[in-house]
Amino acid sequence: MLAAPGPDPALVVDADLRPEGRQGPLVRTLDAYAAYYAKWSHVWEAQALLRADAVVGDPDLRERFTALIDPLRYPAGGLSEDDVLEVRRIKGRVDKERLPRGADPTLHLKARPWGTGGHRVDGAGSCRLRHGAAVPGLRTAQTLAALAAAAEADLLSRNDAETLGTSWRMASRVRNALLLARGRAGDQFPRATLERRSVAGILGYQTDETDRLLDDYLRVTRHARTVVDRVFWE
């Protein structure tokens, strides 16, 4: 129903991001979640839970669910060496396999900001998994707040945190402007001339400054990729 055609853009809810994916039930009990996470969950699911935030429904149930997942996404001992290697392996697969066919990785709005695959497996996410139990400020689903907390705890330099935050903001602004220009979401920096002019105008550029917009985007994402290569891959 949420994705049905209407006067406004569809509100897309990715129901596949749940235990067992398409094979699992859309709704399950809290005990069923606990059983699943205890027996079958993997480190990439802990990464996905970093973005989880219970916002509607029974307050007591929301608190109990948050209490259930916090030890998974903020493990008391941090990540084991095997888990760190698995996180990097997943990022490597994303780099190679998950971009749409024919997509330019330098212009992909979800992949480029922090390096290919950056919005899925990133330096901030790795920091939260490794240090969230010890640093309360990292226990947030908000990327910019997590970067600020990482810098405050000296887990990232302030320059690195600002570089990543600038790139995240830039990509998010372009994605939002593209949604306004098209009337639907998109993950690729606009290629068509009219779309680029529309996006540039929405972002405060002159409509004939599309090349400057592109240059700014490539510059800030290139700097962020350098940080990710150094921090995430060590």
Cβ atoms of residues 168 and 113 within 8 Å: yes
| Distance from C-alpha of 13 to C-alpha of 68, rounded to nearest angstrom | 23
85-135 per-position pLDDT tens digit: 888 887 777 767 767 777 777 888 876 555 443 443 455 677 888 889 899
Decide if pLDDT at 44 tops 70: yes
Between 185 and 220, whose confidence is greater?
220
CA dihedral 207, 164, 124, 60 (to 10 degrees): -50
If you average pLDDT over every residue of the chain, what do you get?
84
The pLDDT value given to residue 115: 46
DSSP tag of 79:
-
Nearest CA-CA partner of 72 in 146, 150, 19? 19
Cβ atoms of residues 186 and 172 within 8 Å: no
Express as a percent the part of the chain with pLDDT over 70: 91
The pLDDT value given to residue 58: 95
48-81 per-position pLDDT tens digit: 888 888 888 999 999 999 999 999 999 998 888 8
Decide if pLDDT at 178 tops 90: yes
Q: Which domains, from first to last, does the chain contain?
A: 18-70 (no CATH), 74-231 (1.20.120.330)
What is the average per-residue pLDDT within 182-210?
A: 90
